[in-house]
Structure 1
Amino acid sequence: MSFFLKSKPVNGIARFSADQRRKRKAEVFSKGKDEITSSEDEEVTNESNLAEQSSEGEDETAQEKKLRLAKIYLEEIEREERRRLEDKEVSKEVISQRLKTDHLKQLGKYEITIADKYTGVDHNNIKILKCREQHNTITCLCLSSDNKWLFSGSKDGVIVKWSFQDYKKVGVIPFVKTNVDQIKGHTGCIYCMAISTDNKFLVVGDPSGKIQIWDPDSLKHIGTLKGHKKPVTAVCIKQNSHTLYSASNDRSVRVWSLAEMAFAETLFGHQDGITSIDVLQSDKPVSSGGRDGTIRLWKVSEESQLIFNAFPGHIDSVKLINEQNFISGGDDGQVSVWSCLKKKPLCSVKAAHGDDPSNSQPHWISAVASYPHSDVIASGSHDGFIKLWKLEDKYRKISHLFDVPVTGFVNALMFTSDGKKLIAGIGKDHRLGRWSAVKSAVNSICIIPLQVKDST
């Protein structure tokens, strides 16, 4: 039986017939390279752009449509490379290399070998960000694709927007006790956040079961997605698209179209509340099931799922390295590397952050991060360190690189797009509860410059 729920429309969400739902599913999941921005005057959503272009030639053949979309795709690549290189002219070699790279990324075969270039931490330039609005534990972080804006969420129910250039607070979405006529903020703890690649949507999950959508520039409310019956604990947005995946304590993953502010599918399988979810370019999000001890890779377009049975314990965090490999961490203290082709981990580090002297149990892995398509990963706990690791022998071996000293629970961990900085969300307690606390910790954001030799 399919794990998709295809009935029961949700209040506030568009309702569709079976035929309409099949068409919508094809639109949301089968776009691939069709998800391209074609406006030269301003960036518009991929989905609306495709809708406009499909109406240009309803009578065109399939071959003509492929040719037209391929031209648009090449034009967009040329614009992106021109902006990146700050050059008016981009050679064919540059475009050819970009096409090859994108293809390998989609296949999960693209890899950057850079771990040996990491030599340590620039301790003199570590930045600590904190503000009076967020005096409680930092629970989640997200960074705009251009590395200009950093967003942080906390147990105060507050979201703060920071300038990543001068490390200053530039805006706040406040905590409110209730939203009556107009949504002005969140009414509970912020559990998770994600921002779309085009920086058009900031997605936030909280205990209400609703997903609030904000404009990252103005911090104005855009819309609300309703459907989850329990707190929304994890969200992620497919790269270069407006397909949103949300996970909840109601044990379900829901798929949404942000362009239409509409519900697409529900994915069932986990036997306990979901704690983490991640996705890259394909329609294959990976999620961790908390106490059910499983990790699930959802092949959405194929309506199937792969189940990975982790070691007994609570799987707290999961992150994709590429389309074929991912890492996980949980309360058993292990950092594990997985392949989509094997049910057991390719390799693991037991007690990666040592043992807790108070109970002789391994320190809980509260966050993991990967520099996508590379051989570098990071893990965080509450033992006083963030650890960086090197992946070797085709992900079959994990070697320790170096430690970054921090005090408190590492609830969020991410690399910048160039891999030169590591950002950590620090709190006195865990983002999902208060089972234990580090009283000496300062609830803050820690921006860690990494020393990378021979970098440009």
Structure 2
Amino acid sequence: MSSFFTIPSLQKKRKRIEGSEAPKKRFATPKSKGAPRDSRPPHAPPRPRRDESISGSDDDDDNNRGLEEEFEGLSDQGSSSGSEDGEETAAERRLRLAERYLDNIREEVDEVGFDAEEIDRDLIAERLQEDAAESKGRMYRKLAAELSFGNASHSVFRNNSEAVTSIATCPPYAYTVSKDLYLTKWRIQELPANQFPQKKKSKKPPPPPRRKPTQLAMIRGDKTKSKDSSYQGHIDSILTVAASQDGKFVVTGGKDRRIIVWDASTLTPLRIFSQHRDAVTGLAFRRGTNQLYSSSKDRTIKVWSLDELAYIETLFGHQDEVVDIAALAQERCISVGARDRTARLWKVVEETQLVFRGGGGAEKKSKSKSPKVLEGSMDRVAMIDEETFVTGGDNGCISLWVVHKKKPIFTIPQAHGMEPALSPDEASAEVHPTEDIIPAPQPRWITALTSIPYSDVIISGSWDGQVRVWKLSNDKKKLEALPSLSSSDDEEDQGIVRGVVNDISVFERGDRGKEGACVVVAVGKEHRMGRWKTVQGARNGGVVFEIPRVEQRKSNGVEKDVENGVHVDGVDT
């Protein structure tokens, strides 16, 4: 009786059942010069010939079938095996078809003249150059020619409180403060889909006016809590506000000598600083950080770190109250000292300061009989880059400065015009006053001043009903006027902005301003620092200006300004 141990080894192998669903493992046939090696027994049936479509299982057949349909027709060799000496695996076939597909795409792209790799390389190089220029504090963007200020749309939002004294933005949010202790959070509306001109002309009517900003939250201080040391809020008028770039903090300062740090999302107070001895007039964040600079009427500048919610140091030097402050990426700031008529550049790390003295005549002698106006107070400052800044004051001038010179290199007199002359009855209480007692017309003060950082755009405000835009020349030696954001040019018309422009904040739409810019203006019936100037018919609130980019198209490789009908290089079309 035979047993398993006595059966010849050739008979021990089981016969494979035909039609079995058992998984089969296949391996690529090794390539050699001789005959292929076969390890099967001699009595086994011959190996069935493979199909042109090689697969390891039914699942592979389904996957490869979709792949072959996608790459079908690429070439006559697409369905043949990739090796003459051996058979190719499914993975090798996928790789070969994918490479052939990419080669065909490259050929089509080359015919059109578009190379994605080269464009990506150029964009990366451009971004690196811009980042390097910004780290060095140099101006590197020419936005004045790319923004259409004359076609800016606007929307007005009102605040039922008293005069809005300051505004800060952190897209898409804006924060306003007022004299009656209100801190309000707004959401700026997004741009509509058809904001910018389309390639094809549409018969549809233009979009409706932009919706007003939405009020999200509001918190108010309490003057009756002045004797309560545990009260975490303002107890007097709020004069300034600033928002961090990362959207975490909102900081306010006012006449109560307090600096309050708020959580930007919920407007809950996080910390109160009371180191200043007088009203806090200005706040500015160091760009890209949570380092804060504050200015005060106590003639000092203080440095704070909001990451640790801590005080760092105090800077001394001004001879009068410090009314405004500005900062960019480097660890330095610029402040203006009101009636000491100086601007000071503070180098925090070096513990040094540079003094720039104003006070000169604002108007040169000319054939006109308009008087020469002297600067009495330097009230506003804005940084263009780390070496260039602008100032404005009560003589109506906007002055351009560089850190290498102690005097302004260029001055625009009467940037916002002159006040109309008084009538004899308004100037005197006499029964029959003469014209000799009528005072000379006075210029409109520069009450707000800002810039788009590291660009050639400067924006100023007063109470003439217009928000004016200025361009820094290519040689950085003078300022040129651009179309105003307000539509009215009539001196007697108050225009869109009805009231005193107490503050201006600007941010760019899209990636580095590719979709334009947004300017938010804080408007009040009176000046933020006092009530010596009140505008009749003014409104407390703000105005949002949306500035589109100039549409440009290429013709024979030359960009053309579609709006103005002028080539970029200055040749008329």
The secondary structure found in structure 2 opposite 1:101 is helix
Q: 2:222 aligns with which of 167, 176, 191?
A: 176
Task: For structure 1, list consecutive stretches of 5 or more residues without a partner in the other structure.
Answer: 1-89
Q: Which amino acid aligns with 2:390?
A: I
Q: In the alignment, is residue 153 of structure 1 matched against residue 160 of structure 2?
A: no
Quick one: distance in 1 between partners of 2:267 and 2:335?
A: 28
Task: Please tell me whether the aligned partners of residues 413 and 422 of structure 1 are also in contact (alpha carbons under 8 angstroms).
Answer: yes
Alignment-derived partner of residue 420 in structure 1 = 517
Quick one: distance in 2 between partners of 1:422 and 1:96?
A: 30
Q: Which has the higher contact order (CA 8 A, sep 6+)?
A: 1
Deviations 1:83-130 (A, max 9, x none): xxxxxxx9676555434322211222232112123333446x411112
TM-score by length of 2: 0.61
1:356 CA displacement: 1.2
Quick one: distance in 1 between partners of 2:415 and 2:332?
A: 28
1:209-358 → structure 2 map (5 Å cutoff) = 209-311=257-359, 312-357=375-420, 358=422
1:378 CA displacement: 1.1
The secondary structure found in structure 1 opposite 2:145 is helix
Quick one: distance in 1 between partners of 2:542 and 2:253?
A: 19
Task: Please tell me whether the aligned partners of residues 500 and 527 of structure 2 are also in contact (alpha carbons under 8 angstroms).
Answer: yes
The secondary structure found in structure 1 opposite 2:349 is helix
1:289 CA displacement: 0.4
Task: For structure 2, list consecutive stretches of 5 or more residues without a partner in the other structure.
Answer: 1-118, 190-210, 360-374, 423-439, 487-494, 554-573
Q: In the alignment, is residue 410 of structure 1 matched against residue 485 of structure 2?
A: no
Alignment-derived partner of residue 441 in structure 2 = 360
Q: Report the aligned-residue RMSD.
A: 2.0
1:61-72 → structure 2 map (5 Å cutoff) = none
Structure 1 stretch displaced more, 351-360 or 153-162:
351-360
1:185-196 → structure 2 map (5 Å cutoff) = 185-196=233-244
Residues 92, 219 of structure 1: alpha-carbon distance in 2 compared, 3 angstrom cutoff: farther
TM-score by length of 1: 0.76
1:95-114 → structure 2 map (5 Å cutoff) = 97-114=126-143
Task: Please tell me whether the aligned partners of residues 225 and 261 of structure 1 are also in contact (alpha carbons under 8 angstroms).
Answer: no
1:452 CA displacement: 2.6
Task: Please tell me whether the aligned partners of residues 108 and 324 of structure 1 are also in contact (alpha carbons under 8 angstroms).
Answer: yes
Alignment-derived partner of residue 434 in structure 1 = 531
The secondary structure found in structure 1 opposite 2:264 is coil
Deviations 1:190-239 (A, max 9, x none): 11111111111111101111210000101111001121000000011111
Residues 227, 455 of structure 1: alpha-carbon distance in 2 compared, 3 angstrom cutoff: farther
Deviations 1:398-456 (A, max 9, x none): 11111223221110012223352221111111111111110211011100122430389
Task: Please tell me whether the aligned partners of residues 346 and 395 of structure 1 are also in contact (alpha carbons under 8 angstroms).
Answer: no
Structure 1 or 2: more strand by fraction: 1
Alignment-derived partner of residue 128 in structure 1 = 156
The secondary structure found in structure 1 opposite 2:148 is strand
Q: Which amino acid aligns with 1:98?
A: R
Q: Which amino acid aligns with 1:150?
A: A
Quick one: distance in 2 between partners of 1:212 and 1:399?
A: 39
1:256 CA displacement: 1.1
Following TM superposition, where does structure 1 have runs of at least 4 consecutive aligned residues deviating by more than 6 angstroms? 90-93
1:376 CA displacement: 1.2
| Number of equivalenced pairs | 362
Task: Please tell me whether the aligned partners of residues 121 and 449 of structure 1 are also in contact (alpha carbons under 8 angstroms).
Answer: no
Q: In the alignment, is residue 118 of structure 1 matched against residue 147 of structure 2?
A: yes
Q: Which amino acid aligns with 1:437?
A: T
Residues 426, 436 of structure 1: alpha-carbon distance in 2 compared, 3 angstrom cutoff: same
Quick one: distance in 1 between partners of 2:148 and 2:132?
A: 31
Residues 198, 266 of structure 1: alpha-carbon distance in 2 compared, 3 angstrom cutoff: same
Q: 1:372 aligns with which of 448, 453, 465?
A: 453
1:184 CA displacement: 5.0
Deviations 1:7-33 (A, max 9, x none): xxxxxxxxxxxxxxxxxxxxxxxxxxx
Identity of aligned residues (%): 35
Quick one: distance in 2 between partners of 1:196 and 1:365?
A: 26
Task: Please tell me whether the aligned partners of residues 121 and 448 of structure 1 are also in contact (alpha carbons under 8 angstroms).
Answer: no
Task: Please tell me whether the aligned partners of residues 243 and 249 of structure 2 are also in contact (alpha carbons under 8 angstroms).
Answer: yes
Q: In the alignment, is residue 453 of structure 1 matched against residue 453 of structure 2?
A: no
Q: Which amino acid aligns with 2:499?
A: G
Structure number, greater radius of gyration: 2
Task: Please tell me whether the aligned partners of residues 447 and 501 of structure 2 are also in contact (alpha carbons under 8 angstroms).
Answer: yes
Task: Please tell me whether the aligned partners of residues 295 and 308 of structure 1 are also in contact (alpha carbons under 8 angstroms).
Answer: yes
The secondary structure found in structure 2 opposite 1:126 is strand
Alignment-derived partner of residue 22 in structure 1 = none
The secondary structure found in structure 1 opposite 2:233 is coil
The secondary structure found in structure 2 opposite 1:355 is coil
Quick one: distance in 1 between partners of 2:235 and 2:122?
A: 52
1:330 CA displacement: 0.5
Task: Please tell me whether the aligned partners of residues 380 and 387 of structure 1 are also in contact (alpha carbons under 8 angstroms).
Answer: yes
Task: Please tell me whether the aligned partners of residues 135 and 329 of structure 2 are also in contact (alpha carbons under 8 angstroms).
Answer: yes
Residues 181, 335 of structure 1: alpha-carbon distance in 2 compared, 3 angstrom cutoff: closer
Task: Please tell me whether the aligned partners of residues 105 and 323 of structure 1 are also in contact (alpha carbons under 8 angstroms).
Answer: no
Task: Please tell me whether the aligned partners of residues 139 and 456 of structure 2 are also in contact (alpha carbons under 8 angstroms).
Answer: no
Quick one: distance in 1 between partners of 2:552 and 2:332?
A: 32
Alignment-derived partner of residue 140 in structure 1 = 166
Deviations 1:224-280 (A, max 9, x none): 112100000001111121211111000000011112222111100100111100111
Deviations 1:40-67 (A, max 9, x none): xxxxxxxxxxxxxxxxxxxxxxxxxxxx
Residues 226, 115 of structure 1: alpha-carbon distance in 2 compared, 3 angstrom cutoff: same
The secondary structure found in structure 2 opposite 1:219 is coil
Quick one: distance in 2 between partners of 1:294 and 1:255?
A: 20
